[in-house]
Amino acid sequence: MEEIEKTRRRFLRVAAIMLSLVLAGGLVFWLTLPSVSWLIKKNPTETAMMKFRAEQARQQGKKPRRYWKRVPLSRISPYLIQAVLIAEDDKFFEHEGFDWVSMRQALETNIAKKRVRRGGSTITQQLAKNLFLKPSQNIVRKLREAAIAVKLERELSKKRILELYLNLIEWGDNIYGAEAAARSWFSCPASALTLSQAIRLASILPNPHRFSALDTASTRLNRKRRILAARMLRRHWIEPETYDQALAEMGL
């Protein structure tokens, strides 16, 4: 009995030590996360993704370039806002940073295809990654992304998160944000984007380096564009006449 009691005490000591280490590690992890409260009123002058692209360019012997012009959400076409929400994060205004259903579906798809085909990340998670993290694929980075997403949701409004996201994401080589994307692809400000132009821009996310908003021959892009337009119509965000006109302009 005495030996059993010694073993029990030894186990409890080890368990207590392990728990203390886990808690200490978790505390250090949380305390080393970047602050996000300054984003409530201030705008970033550079993101981790921009730094990463600049370093890539230098390593390739090229001069880093960046086309980026920030605008308030009120100067971004409602069509683009709606199309991006449907394309990237359909439940953005309903979740608190994570879309568990989409994450489960993405995992099932990736397992079935035996490779990563879907990400399942929300707009908040994508903003966390673009702002603060390098685009590496490892568990520590994913944990930091999730933790930063929690902080963003706690401290920023949904409108502010969406505004930052639309102003910071990549929309092609050296193109960042909706304003630069609209001017680069369609020679107009983001506020003047038509429905068909907005759908074309949303359709190349999240792979703007692989696809072109001007591509009308891609079966994959055209299928995605039809889906985006159809969902906007079903939600009564657009009128049937506007829907038909957009499809005609996209040659669908």
Sign of CA dihedral 206, 66, 153, 225: negative
User: What is the structure's pLDDT at 150?
Assistant: 93
Total residues belonging to the chain: 252
CA-wise closest residue to 189 among 104, 71, 81, 109? 71
The conformation of residue 32, written as its DSSP 8-state character, comes to: T
Q: Which domains does the chain have, with CATH numbers?
A: 64-249 (1.10.3810.10)
Q: How far is C-alpha 67 from the chain's CA centre?
A: 19
The Cα–Cα gap between 30 and 236 comes to: 42
- Give the pLDDT of residue 3: 64
The token pair that represents 70 in the structure block:
């920030």
User: Which pLDDT value is given to residue 59?
Assistant: 93
For residue 75, what are the CA distances in angstroms to 13, 21, 115?
60, 49, 39
- pLDDT tens, per residue, the chain with 252 residues: 666 656 656 655 555 455 544 444 444 445 568 999 999 999 999 999 999 999 999 999 999 999 999 999 999 999 999 999 999 999 999 988 766 565 555 445 544 544 444 456 899 999 999 999 988 777 888 888 999 999 999 999 999 999 999 999 999 999 999 999 999 999 999 999 999 999 999 999 999 999 999 999 999 999 999 999 999 999 999 999 999 999 999 999
The rounded distance, in Å, linking the Cα atoms of 156 and 149 is 10
Rounded (to 5) percent helix, strand, coil in the chain? 65, 0, 35
